Structure 1
Amino acid sequence: MSGDVMAQVFKQLFNSIDEGVIVTDPEGKIIFYNAEMAKLEELLSEQVVGKYLHEVYDAVTVESSEHLSVVLTREPVLEKHKTYFTNKGKEVTIVASTFPVMEDGEVVAVYSVCKDITKFKELLTKTMQLHDQIGNEGQEHRRSNGTRYTFDSIVYASSSMADLVASAKKAALADGFVLVFGETGTGKELLVQAIHNYSARKNEPFVAINCAAIPETLLESILFGTTKGAFTGAMESKGLFQQAGQGTLFLDELNCMSIALQAKILRVLQEKMVRQVGGTLEVPVQCRVISSTNVDPWESVNNGTLRKDLFYRLAVMTLFIPPLKDRKEDIEVLIHCFLNRYQRIYGLGEVKIAPELKELFLRYLWPGNVRELEHIIESAMNMLDGRKVITADHLPHYLRARFLSRDENFSEFYRKGSGSLAHVLREVEKQVLWDALKSHGGNITRTAESLGIARQNLQYRIKKLGLHKNYA
């Protein structure tokens, strides 16, 4: 295949992808500019190709241009968040990775692969503004430090939770780093807020961020803050480390943060200093840092999603919140707590739960933990139609189908305690699927809907568990 044909193939390839691609020579002259980049910047290829970077973009310098700096360093620049203006006045916010093309030890070209996040940035800004408005409107439910919960907010009857609360109170007074881990829905932030309000920092701010909810390119700016001019359009802003002051910064789902950003967090914790993005001045960090993971942190260390050195730094004290299925004695007191809460909210008077439904709740494995139980109680109370007793008929469809498709054999798998945990869970899952399939005459679509899972997921589980029989 000739070089001209190969060039056409690559041109068509790069014009068909969703990311913008721009290629320059070592002097900064643009030699390729794909269709997605033209769409992103609202420019035509013929307006760009053959021109130098400074002729197309404002304020191009070696410091501000990744293309020019890569020529000097010969090192790629990965996932750089950048806001800039074209010479036509178009503001663009992108995430770009820039790479050198080497030949005989020399840089012969530089290319960038760019993803447009302008719309996402606008959406995030509006979301944060809305969050502030909601927060101000609901201020009567919050303390002046930004929290809602104390240790009195934690409802339990089990000895495992009593031990946890006792340990958490000790951790609060010790004022060191704390790592909390527990499944989604177990109440990690509730516990962390309680620790803050039991500590000597209770009159200082409590600031929380979910590390899984914010894109990597924005998370660094949110945590560390930015200086005016850090990138075009950037304004002076304090990061969460500064906003927390002498209070508590809660890093939720730390294991979802990139390894690269974890390294920067580690440096902040070791040096007790933070530098804003684009700045040179370091500011002392005075806040206490509490973090959480939704899986065992050792599992995160072993699978490479959590740095071992950061784990050792943050896990001075560790607190494990057991899943609801492992503390059945808490279910009844939680039911009464949520009944009391929502009967007040909805003005329903005294509402009870049918004994047979309570028994089903005690047998259920609660994959969504306390959060799932609360949502189910609230949902059921909205379905009462003036009645004062919640029955299985008031449950969400997916849960009612799960309960009613089972027989008494379901609970025997884990009551007998035979076999390993993996064996017990496999047998429970097999029985649940078998009963659901049987009740729907083997119809995959209806069975999947009743279980609240995707059809493909159900088919995978049927194959995995060897359920290839006549269910009708």
Structure 2
Amino acid sequence: MPVGDIMIQVFRHLFNSIDEGIIVTDTEGKIIFYNAEMAKLEELLSEHVVGKHLNEVYDAVTVESSEHLSVVLTREPVLEKHKAYFTNKGKEVTIVASTFPVIEDDQVVAVYSVCKDITKFKELLTKTMQLHDQIGLEGQEQRSNNGTRYTFDSIVYASSTMKRLIASAKKAAVADGFILVFGETGTGKELLVQAIHNHSPRKNEPFVAINCAAIPETLLESILFGTAKGAFTGAVESKGLFQQAGQGTLFLDELNCMSIALQAKILRVVQEKMVRRVGGTTEIPIHCRVISSTNVDPWESVNNGSMRKDLFYRLAVMTLFIPPLKDRKEDIEALIHFFLNRYQKIYGLGEVQIGDDLKNVFLRYIWPGNVRELEHILESAMNMLDGRKVITMDHLPHYLKAKFLSQEVSSTELYKKGSGTLAHALREVEKQVLWEALKAHSGNVTRAAQSLGIARQNLQYRMKKLGMHKF
């Protein structure tokens, strides 16, 4: 078989094995390829689609409504566009699609789309928005149900750093202006924001939160601003989160992950205190307070272009920084006692303690996952107790033991072992962690790599680099 034919078969197999729909048309709109995933989401057979024109498969196909036909003319890709449409069999499909021209010798020779099925996701979001509406109505009768779980009393700390932060947050809560909270993942940004809401004059109003990084941009705009009936196929009149928050608080989590284009629309809303629904023409006044957060220094986000400078200045009237757990060691022991009390009640274990050796390891650990990591480690360990009442290193997953043991190598010992340089010390620590993993798995490289969370090839490379040719 010629190489060209082999490559065609390879690509055909490849495109039929991925979990995104792919459709390819020629310049006239005739379908020349239609993969298995596209057939699955549209409930059509490939043999009934390939060779037909777009308007034979889909309803109301025009240059204006079809990205494939318009891209032939514009020669420009259309990225991440939300589409809701019907096939000629009456099947309603909701996708996010990116459409690209194939250009050869300066001529468009074909067009293809890569499509993601978001039908179920859209249904879930619709139910969520309906639930928000329901909560808003119920809130008029039962004002205490404002959508929060935490107050300032929920925040566990012992450090002077956190004491100062809480004092500043309480002042910011009463001031009722825009607040920007920033801190690493796992430090408890939403917990602090909920506490601010419940300490503010808006505490009896709704608290509505959304993670801007978790939702596709094409849906995020509809969720935030709402939709007008007929804005797209199947669209109904619905309130966005700016409206659903009423006179309460809207929390925009991970704001720096929102696209620059959508940030511009957010800026207009917070400046004008008016919102226009997607597909609508009417300006609707909003009354909620906006609190936002980033998981990196917001000024860094401004400098690298992931956040608009004008939006930063608008939303950062007051800024609150939650320091990482490694910078407030005094809080670690208080958090350990808090989580032990919580989970011993949940699992009915009676009084559980943490061994002194493990506690000392915890106090020296850098906690890249912050408070969330500490909580998950303790919950996991309590599930491994087997009737014992003291948590030790033996109750931790192997990958954690390896991480913790690497810290137990004395910096003085490492300095005495070799050159005394930081590079040498790090090399010795890495070697010890790899030996521990290999020892625990009887020299099986594959299982040792899995326990360390790295690829087998990566472990082999590191072993060779460190001179660990045999176990």
Could you say which residue in structure 1 is the equivalent of 2:311?
310
Could you say which residue in structure 1 is the equivalent of 2:230?
229
| Alpha-carbon shift at residue 196 of structure 1 (Å) | 1.0
CA shift digits 1:74-115 (9 cap, x unpaired): 876432201111222121222234568999x9x999946240
CA shift digits 1:224-272 (9 cap, x unpaired): 2222221112222221111111111111122222223222222222232
Could you say which residue in structure 2 is the equivalent of 1:121?
121
Could you say which residue in structure 2 is the equivalent of 1:204?
205
**C-alpha distance in 2 between matches for 1:374 and 1:412:** 32
* Contact 2:72-2:111 at 8 Å conserved across structures: no
Aligned pair in 2 of structure 1 residues 154, 237: CA closer, same or farther (>3 Å)? same
1:433 to 414, 430, 434: 430
* Contact 2:93-2:119 at 8 Å conserved across structures: no
| Structure 2 residue 177 is matched with structure 1 residue 176 | yes
**C-alpha distance in 2 between matches for 1:322 and 1:125:** 33
* Contact 2:31-2:54 at 8 Å conserved across structures: no
Is 40-49 or 366-375 further displaced after alignment?
A: 40-49
Residue 299 of structure 2: SS of its match in structure 1? Answer: helix
Is 252-261 or 404-413 further displaced after alignment?
A: 404-413
| Alpha-carbon shift at residue 285 of structure 1 (Å) | 2.3
Residue 30 of structure 2: SS of its match in structure 1? Answer: strand
Could you say which residue in structure 1 is the equivalent of 2:33?
34
Could you say which residue in structure 1 is the equivalent of 2:322?
321
Could you say which residue in structure 1 is the equivalent of 2:23?
21
**C-alpha distance in 2 between matches for 1:407 and 1:194:** 38
Is 249-258 or 438-447 further displaced after alignment?
A: 438-447
Aligned pair in 2 of structure 1 residues 436, 471: CA closer, same or farther (>3 Å)? farther
Aligned pair in 2 of structure 1 residues 22, 169: CA closer, same or farther (>3 Å)? same
| Alpha-carbon shift at residue 444 of structure 1 (Å) | 4.4
Aligned pair in 2 of structure 1 residues 288, 70: CA closer, same or farther (>3 Å)? farther
Could you say which residue in structure 2 is the equivalent of 1:3?
none
| Alpha-carbon shift at residue 63 of structure 1 (Å) | 6.3
Matches within 5 A, 1:146-225: 146-225=147-226
**C-alpha distance in 2 between matches for 1:236 and 1:456:** 54
**C-alpha distance in 1 between matches for 2:176 and 2:210:** 20
Could you say which residue in structure 2 is the equivalent of 1:281?
282
CA shift digits 1:255-298 (9 cap, x unpaired): 22222322222222223222222222221222111111212223
**C-alpha distance in 1 between matches for 2:469 and 2:71:** 64
* Contact 1:401-1:450 at 8 Å conserved across structures: no
**C-alpha distance in 1 between matches for 2:166 and 2:308:** 28
Aligned pair in 2 of structure 1 residues 471, 354: CA closer, same or farther (>3 Å)? farther
Could you say which residue in structure 1 is the equivalent of 2:295?
294
Matches within 5 A, 1:43-54: 53=55
**C-alpha distance in 2 between matches for 1:191 and 1:49:** 58
| Alpha-carbon shift at residue 435 of structure 1 (Å) | 1.3
Could you say which residue in structure 1 is the equivalent of 2:382?
381
The one-letter code of the counterpart of 1:295 is V
Could you say which residue in structure 1 is the equivalent of 2:404?
403
Aligned pair in 2 of structure 1 residues 396, 15: CA closer, same or farther (>3 Å)? closer
Could you say which residue in structure 1 is the equivalent of 2:467?
468
* Contact 2:182-2:320 at 8 Å conserved across structures: yes
**C-alpha distance in 1 between matches for 2:259 and 2:312:** 14
| Structure 2 residue 358 is matched with structure 1 residue 361 | no
**C-alpha distance in 2 between matches for 1:71 and 1:452:** 46
The one-letter code of the counterpart of 1:231 is F
**C-alpha distance in 1 between matches for 2:424 and 2:294:** 28
Aligned pair in 2 of structure 1 residues 82, 471: CA closer, same or farther (>3 Å)? same
**C-alpha distance in 2 between matches for 1:265 and 1:83:** 25
**C-alpha distance in 1 between matches for 2:164 and 2:413:** 29
CA shift digits 1:326-374 (9 cap, x unpaired): 1111111111111121222223332222212211111111121111111
* Contact 1:201-1:246 at 8 Å conserved across structures: yes
TM-score normalised over the length of structure 1: 0.79
**C-alpha distance in 1 between matches for 2:303 and 2:454:** 29
Q: Where do 5+ consecutive residues of structure 1 fail to align?
A: 1-5
* Contact 2:181-2:189 at 8 Å conserved across structures: yes
The one-letter code of the counterpart of 2:22 is G
Identity over the aligned pairs, expressed in percent? 70
Residue 201 of structure 1: SS of its match in structure 2? Answer: coil
Is 59-68 or 246-255 further displaced after alignment?
A: 59-68
Could you say which residue in structure 1 is the equivalent of 2:261?
260
| Alpha-carbon shift at residue 10 of structure 1 (Å) | 10
TM-score normalised over the length of structure 2: 0.79
The one-letter code of the counterpart of 1:20 is I
Residue 340 of structure 2: SS of its match in structure 1? Answer: helix
Residue 235 of structure 2: SS of its match in structure 1? Answer: coil
**C-alpha distance in 1 between matches for 2:253 and 2:188:** 11
| Alpha-carbon shift at residue 67 of structure 1 (Å) | 6.1
CA shift digits 1:158-217 (9 cap, x unpaired): 121112112211221222222211111111111111111111111111111112222222
**C-alpha distance in 2 between matches for 1:143 and 1:82:** 39
* Contact 1:410-1:432 at 8 Å conserved across structures: no
Residue 30 of structure 1: SS of its match in structure 2? Answer: coil
Is 248-257 or 147-156 further displaced after alignment?
A: 248-257
* Contact 1:31-1:49 at 8 Å conserved across structures: yes
CA shift digits 1:106-161 (9 cap, x unpaired): x99994624041455367459959999xx9xxx9xx95111111111111111211
| Alpha-carbon shift at residue 404 of structure 1 (Å) | 4.1
**C-alpha distance in 2 between matches for 1:59 and 1:374:** 54
CA shift digits 1:302-325 (9 cap, x unpaired): 333223332222222222111111
What RMSD, in angstroms, separates the aligned Cα atoms of the two structures? 4.1
Aligned residues: 444
